[in-house]
Each structure stands twice: as C-alpha cells, then as structure tokens.
A and B are shown apart, each in its own frame.
Chain A
C-alpha cells in the first residue's frame, strides 16, 4: 500500500489549493487598484493621458484580469476535482 506517499501528495495538493484561493481572493483588490490608477493621472498639462490611451489601458486591465481569473478558476475546479477523487468522496460544495 502506498498510503503514506499519497498522503504527502494530498497535503501538498491541499496546500497549493489554499494558496490558489488566496490568489483568487487577492485578484479583485489588484483589479480595483489597477482601475483606480486613472485617478493618479495628471488632469491637465503635457503629461495628460489621452482618451484613446485611457481606453486601451482600461480594457487591457479588464482583459488580463478576465484571462487570469479564468485560468485560476479552472485550476481551482481541477484541484478540487483531483482532491475529491483522491479522497474518493463525492463532489461537495466548497467549504471554508
């Protein structure tokens, strides 16, 4: 029986999942900060950011966040499925 080895594997997996959840928790805060960056832009003078640049910036943030979020969510789902399979228990709603 390789129970011992699989336990080590499982704990490592759980640890990774916890950190993934931390990352998922952090994402909206990062997003908020990035989207509040326009508040720092100079309102007038030569340093003023043009509207077209602003559009590109805001949508770029959006796009990157969506992609990262999609990857993390899928990874979380996969991690949970793997863990459940490991434990041999049916799929249950996420506990925290």
Chain B
C-alpha cells in the first residue's frame, strides 16, 4: 500500500500544480499580461484533449488486439485538420460571429434558434459523452489499482473514482464558471489542459523511448519484433479502415469537448492555421510508440495481462518506478483534461438549453419582471450541471462495473456524436437545410445508433433480449440489430455507422427539401452558409415596444452590471445619445442579443429579449421591411442615376451658356470698336467740314451748301444711331407705352413695304398674297410696322441672290397671327441663328449698314407686343417668322 500512498501523494501534488497553473493563467489574463496565453501553440495543445486516457492506455491495447487499426482514430482528425480550409475555418468563423457557446447552440442557432433542437442535441450529447467520462474515471481508478498491486479491492476503487470525480468537479467549477460569458476564454482551464497535453505527450514518449532503446535495441530491432509478434498477423479490414477514419474525423467535428476547445475557446482564427499542421504532428508523435510498446508488452509480460495497461505495467515490470509514476501522471492528465472540458461543455449546454428555459418559463412569464439575479442563476445552474454530469459519469461507471475493453466504449461514443454531422455540415454548407430536416435526421440517426450499437453493447439480455438479437424486433428478421434489412456479415460497428449515418443524412435531406423553413431560419441559414461573403447581420428585432430600461435590468442580471453598462453606453454613443440608455432599435437589440448569447446561448438570449420586446423577432413584416429597404435602396440609386443625368445635362447647358456669353462678349468688344468707328466717321467729317466752313472765308455759296449738307447728313446718321440705342434701351427697360390701333395685316405690310423700299435703287421682288393678309389686328401698328420694315430692309440689304426676292406668308390660327419673311439668299449658319437677335451683332460686319441693333430692337418690340420674332430654319434660305396675338392684351404689359 506504500506505493499507493506515494501515488496518491504524487497525484495530489500534481493536481495542486494544475490549480496553480490555472490560477496563474487567470491572474495573468486579468492583468493583461497574458500574451503567452494567446500563442497558437496553446491552442494546438488544448486540442489534444482529443487524446484521452483511451489514447494513453487504450491505444496500446487496441494495437495489441487489432494491429494498426488504432491509427485510424488519429488519421481521421489529422485529415480534418489538414483540411481546415474546407470546414473548420468556416465553423470557427461562424462560432465567433454568432457567439456560439456549444455545439447544441451552433445547431439550434443555425436552425432558427430552435430550443427544441438545442435540448435534443444537449440530451444526445450527454448520452454520448457520459460513458466516455465513465471510461476516464475507470482508467484512473484502474491505474491506481495497478499501483496498489492487486487491483482486487473493489470498494477502494469505487471510492477512488468518487474522489477523482469530486476533485474534477471542483476544478471545473472553479475555473470553468468564473466568467459567465462562454465566449470569453477560460484561460485557467485552457492553460491547465495545455500543460496536461505536454505531460501526457512527454510521458508516452518517455515510455516509448524506454521501450525502444531501453528494452529493445532500437528501431530496427522493434521492426523485427513486430514481424515476429502476433501483431504481424494483422490484416487490414477495408470496411473498418475506411469507416473508422470517417468516424474519427466526424467525431473530431462533433464531440462537444472538441467543439468547446476548437470553436468556443478559439481566440484567433489564425491559430487554426498553425494547429492545422501542429495538431496532426502531435497525434503522430502520440501514436508513434504505440506499436513498439504493444509489441514489447506482448513479449515481456505474461500471457493474459491486460494490454490496456502496458504503458504502466512495462515500467513496473522492469522495476522502473519513476517512469511508471510519470506514465501514471500522463494517463491521469489525459483523463482529467478530457473530463474537465467535456463536463464544462456539457454543463454549458445543459444550463443554457435545458435549465435556463425551464427556469425562465417557470419564473419569467411576466417578461421583463424576471425576478432575482439571473446571472447567479446561470452560474449556479452551470455549476450544478457540471456536478450532475460528473455524477452521471460516476454512476455509469458504477453500474457498468467497468469491465469492457476501453476502446469499444470510445467508438460507440464516437458513433453517437457523429450523428450530429449531417445537420452540422448541412447547416454550414447548405442553405436549404431546415429545422425539421435536422430533427428528423437526428432522430433517425440516434434511434438506429441506440438500437444497433449502444443497446447491444450492454450485452445480450440487458436491454435487448437474445430473441430480438437473433430474430429482430417484433420477430421481423429485417430488423435484427446487427443485420438491418437482411444485410448480415458486416462488422457491428461499421454496420451501425453505415446505416445510422446514411439514413440520418437521407432523412435530413428529404425532410429538408420537403419543408419551407421559417424566415428566421432562412436568415440564419444565409448567415451561416455565406459567413465569409458578408459581414454578419443577424435577423433584426422589431423595435418600438421594447423598453431600454427593462433591457438594461435584464442585461445587468446576465452580463453583470459593469459589463452591461459598458455595452449600453457604447451603443448609446453609437446612436449619438448621451447617457446609458440607447434607443431600442433593431441594431442595438441585435448587439445585445449577441452579448447575451455569449452567456446563456442563442436560443435563450433570443427568448429573453423576445419576452421584453414582445412577439417573434422576425415576422413577415420584418422581411417585408427588409425587402422594402432593398427596394428603397434600388429606387434611391436609380434616382441618383437620374440626378446625375440631370447634372450632366445642366453642365452641358451651362457649357452652352458659357460659350454664348463668350460670343456675346466678343460681339460687344467688336461692337464697341464698331460703334466708335461708326461714331468717329461722321464726327470726323462733321469736324473737318465745320472747320473748313469756319476757317475759309472764300468759299462759294455752293460749296458752303455742299459742306453744310454733308454735316447735316452725318449728324442725321449720328442721331439715327443714337435713336436706335435709345429706343432699344427704352424697350429693354419696359418704359415704352404702346399705342394700340386697329388695322388689317395687309395695310400694315403694305405700309411697311412702302417705307422700306422707297428711295432704294436695289430691286427686291416681293411675293405675297393679299387675300391671306386680310386679318384684322388689334395692336400697336407703328411698332409692328417697325419690325416688318426692319425685316424687309434686312432682306433687301443682305440677300445675296442675283434676283433677290422676298416671300411673305401669313396665316392665323387660334388668335395667333404668323408672318413669315422668306428670301432666296444664303441661309444664316447654325451658330449665328440665335446671335443675330443680340444687340450689336451683325452676321457680316463688312456689309455694315446699321450698328447691328435692328433685330435686337425687333425682338424687344415683339416681346412687348406679346409675340415673337425668330429665325425660321430649314427653308434653304434666310427666313424669319413673326408671331403675335391678334388681340394685344394690355395686361401683358
């Protein structure tokens, strides 16, 4: 018993050491000095809880019994890690963006935050994991027994198991439930299991090195020993080889404890990249010495010794107490780290998905008036769950008697949790997957697993009678547990995995495609499947009814006052509201739900906010709102397009205006020089001749008359120019008074023709229809005549045809009289058609008659008369159109 005391002492010291490590890590993290806690190597080592006591002790036993088949258990996970880019990366990203707390949370969150699904997954995970925890307890107690020497004292053993379970519960509760938010890493736990990972690796390596170089003569000798041992008779069984690789790969993704360390405790996605090669390397080293130990054990130890304990018994048999002690610690580490993480993961699931919903519905019917401190309830429920999980494991160990070979329980457990695989992978890769499909798949998978694998494993007669095993359920031969549908001869494990996984997948698929998922499911589905495409946006809450204060009260209970206030203040800041209470808009509710989800799981958080906000989170109206928003955005963008078209149109107009301005400015400059020339020419002659008259006394009367005549003509010319300018200025300022009269258009035209064509030598042939011109006008006849005269004179002056002629067309419609003056000269070029109406403009400066004011005056006059004079294009010659109302409206002034 002395040796047993030593081992108890050593394990107590070791446990104390683990406590110290965990404490140190927590303190360092709290003080922000824990950079080393975030090393990728810590993440990789924490993944090593995949290697439990089943690996440490069981792998050697497995190798001794079934040769190299044990490698499949490590090849599968290695492949998954090698393929991190395909699946794990996506899972980790989803876990981080959705603040997933467990695998049950992941599945429930994906399928519309369904609590039913969460409870189902939780229960199935507990069923699948409990035997595994029992297995760990068994391995620890068995190793104690080995040290005790006899291993016969059963009472002692169960007592040991109880103590171990209690110790683990205390450790897990201490370090696993310190922080409520599962998304915050459990630094203490992670650090402790990382240390344990090193211990178990080192222990196994030490035993391996001792076996290869201490007992055998190096690798070559080991290879010969392999050939001569019973392991060499091993023959690969194709079905089991491939099937177990698949099964272990699936288990790595689905085991609650693996999900906990891989996804929930993941601090940085980049760590996964390191783990993608480092973890397979770890597995490789762990399994490297398994065969040598098995071979040497089979050689060395008496026939009938338990190969599951070779790792311990070889050092003991060779009198190597300290190596045996190290080996024991390795096994102890493997077992404890697995139990700690598994119970933590299960407890999170149980408290979030089973205890909290029950507690909420029992006490929280009044919505926001949830009484008591929810925070402490969550923590208490989590602590109780940890204890309950360990008690379950212990009870399972007691009841099962701890007899069966370790590996078989491990594989049965693997096959159980592998049932999550279809709905897990379907959920993150296939948007069509829905809740009913997931439920159907899980139900089919688990029923088949239980019927074909779990129940038969308790032995014929325990749950399934020999009758059922032999002839099938209800005597139906095709329902035999190990030969479903009449297909017999398969390995029972492979048989169960094949049927359960394939029918699980089939049910999942068929039910999924038959149903239409709820809106929230579809939104979650899109978020999960397209996690890399868009930044995450969870389904929105309808705001309005929620009271920020109620939310604050609730959030404080769950997150703790300080954390809750921090979140609220941050959100209020974001909304630009001073103080602590943000508007309960959809964005804020979404953030809050995520925060809460980190503590109590997505489904519960959703339900809690739902109680306060009231009603379903996403209704058809919400979706319509989302659709509307999209439509609005599209509308807005098309409006933008229209606006930008408008802008470019305006810009073009502005460009044209600018061009015109420049032209006008040029014209003005030209006119100024023109006008000074126009003024200067008569002034010069007036000055010259007046000087002659003044200074020259000997001028004849004839000469005097001639010179005064010239002076007079020039003065008249000047006056006319100035009159024109004055006239235009008066017209432009609207200072003229109209002198209304009544006459026929014919009279006005005839008067104008007389005035314009009299005393001119150039002959202009005028073509007109007097009959058409019998239109009575009521307007300022003199002004109209002025316009006509101007147009006729222009034709006379500028028409460059050999036989100049002018056609005058007139007609009247709807009280508007139109008069067209069309000559047969060269048309005015496009660019000048508008400019000719501007002041000071002349098409051809060389052919100067006036100062270029005529048309400008015409336009002003017509404007006054309520009409228009414009160039009439497309006539093949110069043409002007005058339109005016038949009846001048005085009011138009």
Contacts and interface: CB of A to CB of B under 8 A. Distances in A.
Q: Please indicate which of the listed interface residues A32, A56, A95 has the most CB atoms of chain B within 10 Å of its own CB.
A: A32
Interface string B215-252: 00000000110110001101110100110010000000
Contact of A51 (B68, B89, B277, B280): B68
Contacts of B235: 43-44
Contact of B280 (A36, A58, A66): A66
B79 A51 contact: no
Interface string A80-92: 0000000000000
Interface string A54-80: 111011001101100110010011000
Nearest to B291: A55
A39 B241 contact: yes
Given A31-B82, A69-B82, A51 B75 contact: no
Contacts of A52: 223-224, 226-227, 232
Interface stretch (B52-60, B267-275, B456-464, B732-740): B267-275
A47 interface: no
A96 B90 CA distance: 10
B93 interface: yes
Nearest to B67: A51
A9 interface: no
A53 to B, nearest CB: 9
A52 B281 CA distance: 21
Q: Which of A29, A77, A96 has the most CB of B within 10 A?
A: A96
A50 B277 contact: no
Contacts of A43: 235-236
A35 B245 contact: yes
B89 A94 contact: yes
A62 B89 contact: no
Contacts of B288: 59
Contacts of B278: 70
B415 to A, nearest CB: 20
Given A35-B75, A69-B280, A27 B83 contact: yes
Contact of A39 (B93, B236, B284): B236
Contact of B78 (A29, A44, A55, A62): A62
| Interface bin, chain B | 35 or more
B86 A50 contact: no
A10 interface: no
B281 to A, nearest CB: 5
Interface in B446-497: none
A69 B276 contact: yes
A15 interface: no
Given A21-B85, A31-B79, A96-B532, A62 B280 contact: yes
A4 interface: no
A41 B238 CA distance: 10
B71 interface: yes
A57 B236 CA distance: 14
A73 B242 contact: no
A76 B226 contact: no
Contacts of A77: 270, 273
A38 B68 CA distance: 11
Contacts of B227: 50-52
Contact of A36 (B71, B242, B274, B291): B242
Nearest to A69: B277
B273 A28 contact: no
A28 to B, nearest CB: 3
B241 A38 contact: yes
Q: Which of B234, B270, B278, B532 has the most CB of A within 10 A?
A: B270
B236 A66 contact: no
A51 B231 contact: yes
Contacts of A25: 83, 85-86
Contact of B242 (A28, A39, A65): A39
A51 B281 contact: no
A93 B78 CA distance: 23
A46 B384 CA distance: 61
A41 B236 contact: yes
Nearest to A76: B273
Contacts of B223: 52, 55-56
A25 B227 CA distance: 37
Closest 3 CB pairs of A and B: A28-B83, A69-B277, A52-B223
Given A50-B227, A66-B277, 6 more contacts: A52-B223, A52-B227, A58-B75, A70-B281, A76-B273, A93-B93
23 contacts: A27-B82, A31-B79, A31-B82, A32-B245, A35-B79, A38-B236, A39-B238, A39-B242, A51-B67, A51-B231, A52-B232, A55-B223, A55-B291, A58-B75, A59-B284, A62-B75, A65-B78, A65-B82, A69-B280, A70-B277, A73-B274, A94-B89, A94-B269
Interface of B: 67-68, 71, 75, 78-80, 82-83, 85-86, 89, 93, 223-224, 226-227, 231-232, 234-236, 238, 241-242, 245, 269-270, 273-274, 276-278, 280-281, 284, 288, 291, 532
